[in-house]
């Protein structure tokens, strides 16, 4: 049988769609990848490079996955229903594009912060996109360490965002209804991604149901369903603040190396917040994230 190397571009149920050359092959995710102690809910992710053999050449050619190549990077979280197992959302990516809506920014910044921590802890470059800027012009405070783009997908105002994707693979993530599909359609005319019914603010709700790899502005994007929560996997509470780059200098003034910046004495981060040199809102969201992470660990039996 002929053996090829390809990239997983779509997953659905127990099947993977793999692109090799100019053809797409349907391959079952075989039981051998699920044997032994399960660390992950799914052993195959969109973006994986795999070796497979062709078993049927028809209008829909089929194959069997033989091996999964070592991943360069991953975007993952603790599985919401099985917190001791990891859920890999995408593999071999460069950018995490965190999309939020200008009209609901205050409510969505907690999700933005969670995704930023995940990106930085997993070696990905984060980009924040505040979409729907025709509806509001909010201030985005406390994010000097990240690229922030203000866009309006419906009018095609992309603020230079399109030039960030050439030769790279990105993941778009964020709450449902912030216009991710509309934004992707504006960045790559011709994608014609489905946009759901219009909400009261006049923009369609995101309708993606599973991760899919698509061409985007000279690179690729892995479009994901709306993210409601993003529990951390294998991250200790005191490590969370390490992924706040603007806190690096104040952290050096903390008395304890494992300071959580919540109740400990002589905390450099708390002192900087009180002095107004660190953003108060971002610090309060950090405390919420820290408390939620502790609760998640306790519920999982860590």
User: What is the per-residue pLDDT across 277-287, written as a single tens digit (0 to 9) for each?
Assistant: 999 999 999 99
- Domain for residue 44, yes or no? yes
Show the domain range for 247: 237-300
pLDDT in tens, 233-248: 989 999 999 999 999 9
With respect to residue 79, please indicate whether it lies within any of the assigned structural domains.
Answer: no
pTM of the model: 0.88
The answer on 95 and 173 residing in a single domain is yes
Give a yes or no: residue 145 inside a domain: yes
Which residue(s) pair with 147 in the sheet? 127
Q: Are residues 93 and 201 in the same domain?
A: yes
- How many domains are contained in the chain? 3
Residues 267 and 166 in one domain: no
Q: pLDDT band for 200, please (50, 70, 90 cuts).
A: very low
pLDDT in tens, 34-47: 554 556 666 899 99
DSSP state of 192: -
Say yes or no: 267 and 148 in one domain: no
**Same domain (yes/no): 95, 61:** no
At 60 the pLDDT is 80
**CATH number of the domain bearing residue 149:** 3.40.50.300
Domain of 244, CATH number, reads: 1.10.40.50
Q: Report the pLDDT value the prediction gives residue 30, as an integer from 0 to 100.
A: 72
Long-range contacts of 270-275 (CB under 8 A, 24+ apart): 272/247
Instruction: Give the tokens for residue 78.
Output: 């603790």
Classify residue 190 by burial, with Cβ atoms within 10 Å: 0-12, 13-18, 19+.
exposed
pLDDT tens profile 54-104:
987 777 899 999 999 999 999 999 988 888 888 898 999 999 999 999 999
Q: What is the pLDDT of residue 39?
A: 61
The alpha carbon torsion through 180, 172, 176, 142 (nearest 10 deg) reads -100
| CA gap 70, 180 in Å, rounded | 29
Domain assignment present for 83: no
Q: Which domain-ending residue is among 223, 251, 272?
A: 223
Residue where one domain finishes, among candidates 43, 70, 97: 70
Q: What is the CATH number of the domain that holds 49?
A: 2.40.50.140
Whether 171 and 54 share a structural domain: no
Where is the domain boundary, 199, 223, 247? Answer: 223
> What pLDDT is stored for residue 36 in this prediction?
47
Same domain, 245 and 291: yes
Residues 137, 207: one domain? yes
How many residues in total does the chain contain? 302
């Amino acid at each position: 049988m002929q053996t090829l190397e390809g990239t997983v571009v779509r997953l659905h149920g127990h099947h993977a769609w793999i692109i090799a050359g100019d053809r797409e092959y349907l391959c079952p995710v075989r039981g051998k990848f699920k044997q032994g102690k399960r660390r992950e809910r799914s052993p195959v992710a969109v973006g994986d490079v795999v070796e497979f053999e062709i078993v049927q050449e028809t209008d829909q050619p089929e194959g069997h996955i033989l091996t999964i190549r070592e991943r360069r990077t991953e975007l993952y979280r603790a599985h919401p229903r099985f917190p001791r197992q990891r859920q890999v959302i995408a593999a071999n990516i460069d950018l995490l594009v965190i999309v939020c809506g200008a009209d609901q920014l205050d409510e969505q910044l907690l999700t933005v912060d969670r995704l930023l921590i995940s990106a930085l802890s997993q070696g990905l470059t984060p980009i924040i996109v505040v979409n729907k800027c025709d509806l509001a012009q909010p201030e985005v405070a406390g994010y000097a360490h990240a690229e922030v783009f203000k866009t309006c997908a419906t009018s095609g105002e992309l603020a230079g965002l399109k030039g960030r994707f050439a030769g790279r693979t990105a993941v778009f993530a964020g709450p449902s209804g912030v216009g991710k599909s509309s934004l992707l359609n504006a960045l790559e005319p011709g994608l014609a991604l489905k946009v759901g019914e219009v909400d009261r603010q006049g923009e369609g709700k995101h309708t993606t149901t599973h991760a899919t790899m698509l061409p985007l502005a000279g690179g690729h994007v892995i479009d994901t369903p709306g993210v409601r929560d993003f529990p951390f996997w294998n991250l200790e509470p005191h490590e969370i603040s390490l992924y706040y780059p603007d806190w690096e200098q104040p952290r050096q003034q903390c008395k304890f190396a494992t300071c959580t910046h919540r109740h400990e004495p002589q905390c450099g981060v708390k002192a900087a917040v009180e002095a107004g040199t660190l953003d108060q809102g971002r610090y309060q969201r950090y405390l919420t994230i820290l408390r939620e992470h502790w609760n998640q660990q306790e519920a999982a039996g860590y």
